[in-house]
Amino acid sequence: MTSIEQAAPVTNNFLRTIIDEDLKSGKHAGIVTRFPPEPNGYLHIGHAKSICINFGLARDFGGRCHLRFDDTNPAKEEQEYIDSIKENVRWLGFDWGEHLHYASDNFEQLYCWAVYLIKQGKAYVEDLNAEQIRAYRGTLTEAGTESPYRTRSVEENLDLFGRMRAGEFPDGSRVLRAKIDMAAPNINLRDPVLYRIIHAPHPHVGDAWKIYPMYDFAHGQTDAIEEITHSICTLEFESHKPLYEWFLDNLPVPARPRQYEFARLNLTYTVMSKRKLQELVQLGIVSGWDDPRMPTLVGIRRRGYTPDAVRAFCEMIGVGRSDSWIDVAILEECVRADLNDSAPRAMAVLRPIKLVIDNYPAGQTEEFQASNHPQKPEMGSRSINFSRELWIDSDDFMEVPSKGFHRLTVGGEVKLRCGYIITCTGVVKDSEGAILELHGDYDPASREGIHTADGRKVKGVIHWVSAVHAITAEVRLFDRLFSDPNPDRGGADYKQFLNPNSVETLSDCKLEASLAGAETETRYQFERQGYFRLDPKDTRPGTPVFNRIVTLRDVWTKK
């Protein structure tokens, strides 16, 4: 466990309480959980919460956690997603060991159990089409009516179901239904569909099957087969729980798992639904599922977020049963906390403006040692070059300073971080009045500290880069994808809340020379600006592209 996670409070929650009691009472000798994604899309930060809960609980209570693909619908599932999900879970730092499972591994057993139900008179083959089934189901306030096929004989049901499996019937022509209660107030109990016919290849079992079990008929039984003790899912499955238990009660399952539900993660300034995420990709609003602004794990990862930070975030937000919206600022804080600790510092000028040190000899060069981390000498130092012409950030100069501004102004002085104190002596402008370059003088005696020769303390410290030594890079400044905290909020089209400035590409940034050796896996703090990381996809030899992971906190500009 890393320091940032230790710093996160481990608060009690209802799941821990339940597990504690189950262990104490001897109901279970150990716990087994599972993360059960359907491989029909890419994982997002909401899934990370579930992953951390399931794997985290298993870790904390000395149990195990399975990775299980809930692959019961081949019409939507693909191998690509299976691979991506496995990689994401690993990236987050979790290990399922021997326990990689697929619901489809149990298709034969599930089929046998369906036959068992038919023989018990508890399931029947339905000939009504989807629309008719819907009409027969009734409404929230009115009971449904029983299907005319509900009373078929066991023999006929067995025959028909066998022929469904054999592929004799086209998609949609028949389904297998449980015979429960068409008048049940819980609609999930009104003779739910158990199997449907789908003539499509399955990513894991190929074309062995023509019928596939529904989620409800697969999940609980699969939990039982895997001997899951605590089957943890999100709140919307709560109304399925009676069905989950009905199958466990009516089938000779080998174990008795129990379902518990928690509130899914909602994050401000983003959208999380698969449909909307997909739309952002398809409409070209983002560059892909791994666009650094996306809440997908592939996106977050490309952006440069660390798995430690994501885990700390999941720990910090807790687990409850009430619908909640987590402020994305908390995620950003977790990233800062982690990176502040681990990121080597460097200097980079994003919006360069030239500063000529007139009293510094032309052609002369000096090398200064700069610490890689102010609080961690063990992270070493690097040398940075100083020369007559420098780049500084245009944000750090104001011709007419606003109140409280203590960076560079004409006639003002400022400390060049790890360098000299300089005084700005003048501004050169073009005919339009745009600033071409700044001129200044340096104090040769001011290398150490921030005090001037006459003992005054310089208020401002700015970053800079030597012009002749600098390397040029593209830097992408990412911001929140939406400008509204809740773009998902009812009614209105979420796309109207898109933040037009969610990415700003700066193509002529000047970085200190040491960054020529930057590695993709290293996150850097560009001092006074934020945390950055080489884009793993668009960086080319000699033409670095940096992504801004997150800014530094900035109480000054906030005021």
Q: Which of residues 336-365 bind RNA (CB under 7 A)?
A: 336-337, 340, 345
Question: Which residue's entry shows tokens 């083959």?
Answer: 125
Name which position in 1, 3, 6, 11 contacts RNA (CB under 7 A). Answer: 11
Instruction: Name the residue nearer to RNA (CB basis): 271 or 337.
Output: 337
Is 25 a binder of RNA (CB under 7 A)?
no
State the helix-helix crossing angle for 215-225 and 241-250, rounded to 10 degrees: 60
Catalytic hit among 38, 78, 227, 333: 38
User: Least distance from C-beta 409 to RNA, angstroms?
Assistant: 10
The set of residues, in sequence order, having a beta carbon less than 8 Å from that of 439 and lying 6+ positions away, is 355, 356, 358, 424, 425, 426, 427, 428
Q: Which two tokens stand for residue 366?
A: 């000096």
Instruction: Name the residue nearer to RNA (CB basis): 410 or 552.
Output: 552
Name which position in 130, 154, 362, 492 contacts RNA (CB under 7 A). Answer: 130
What is the per-residue binding string for RNA in 28-47, x denoting contact by CB under 7 A? --------x-x-x-------
Instruction: Name the residue nearer to RNA (CB basis): 196 or 382.
Output: 196
Instruction: Name the residue nearer to RNA (CB basis): 253 or 461.
Output: 461
CB 281 within 8 A of CB 296: no
Pairing, β 365-371 against β 421-429:
unpaired
Instruction: Name the residue nearer to RNA (CB basis): 95 or 171.
Output: 171
The interface region with RNA, picked from 90-98, 475-483, 493-501, 521-529 by CB under 7 A, is 521-529
Is 200 a binder of RNA (CB under 7 A)?
no
Name which position in 100, 115, 193, 272 contacts RNA (CB under 7 A). Answer: 193
Question: Which residue's entry shows tokens 């049940």?
Answer: 184
User: Least distance from C-beta 59 to RNA, angstroms?
Assistant: 18
- 318 phi and psi angles, rounded to 5 deg: 75, 180
Segment 249-308, which members bind RNA (CB under 7 A)? Answer: 263
Pairing, β 545-551 against β 471-478:
parallel
Name which position in 239, 364, 472, 496 contacts RNA (CB under 7 A). Answer: 239
Confirm whether 264 is a catalytic residue.
yes
Segment 140-169, which members bind RNA (CB under 7 A)? Answer: 140-141
184 CB burial (10 A radius; 0-12, 13-18, 19+): middle
For residue 413, what are the β-bridge partners?
423
User: Least distance from C-beta 476 to RNA, angstroms?
Assistant: 20
What is the per-residue binding string for RNA in 164-183, x denoting contact by CB under 7 A? -------xxxxx--------
Name which position in 25, 282, 375, 505 contacts RNA (CB under 7 A). Answer: 375
Segment 530-549, which members bind RNA (CB under 7 A)? Answer: none
Confirm whether 156 is a catalytic residue.
no
Segment 62-121, which members bind RNA (CB under 7 A)? Answer: 70, 72-73, 75-76
The set of residues, in sequence order, having a beta carbon less than 8 Å from that of 350 and lying 6+ positions away, is 393, 475, 477, 506, 509, 526, 529
Name which position in 99, 276, 321, 495 contacts RNA (CB under 7 A). Answer: 321
User: Least distance from C-beta 540 to RNA, angstroms?
Assistant: 28
Catalytic hit among 16, 137, 274, 459: 274
Name which position in 25, 139, 431, 505 contacts RNA (CB under 7 A). Answer: 139
Segment 420-479, which members bind RNA (CB under 7 A)? Answer: 447-450, 460-462
Catalytic hit among 86, 264, 417, 495: 264
Distance CA 125, CA 191 (A): 11
How many Cα atoms occupy the beta-carbon half-sphere of 111 within 13 Å? 19
Name which position in 3, 6, 14, 27 contacts RNA (CB under 7 A). Answer: 14
Size of the site for RNA (CB under 7 A): 97
Is 236 a binder of RNA (CB under 7 A)?
yes
Question: Which residue's entry shows tokens 């023989």?
Answer: 119
Is 528 a binder of RNA (CB under 7 A)?
yes
User: Least distance from C-beta 297 to RNA, angstroms?
Assistant: 17
In 3D, which of 532, 479, 480 has the Cα closest to residue 509?
532
Question: Which residue's entry shows tokens 């049901």?
Answer: 157
Is 319 a binder of RNA (CB under 7 A)?
yes
DSSP 405: -
The set of residues, in sequence order, having a beta carbon less than 8 Å from that of 145 and lying 6+ positions away, is 136, 138, 182
Distance CA 271, CA 285 (A): 13
Confirm whether 38 is a catalytic residue.
yes
Laid out side by side, the sheet with 123-126 consists of 123-126, 175-178, 193-197, 211-213
The interface region with RNA, picked from 51-59, 215-223, 282-290, 293-301 by CB under 7 A, is 215-223
How many Cα atoms occupy the beta-carbon half-sphere of 412 within 13 Å? 20
Pairing, β 461-462 against β 435-443:
unpaired
Catalytically annotated residues: 38, 264, 274
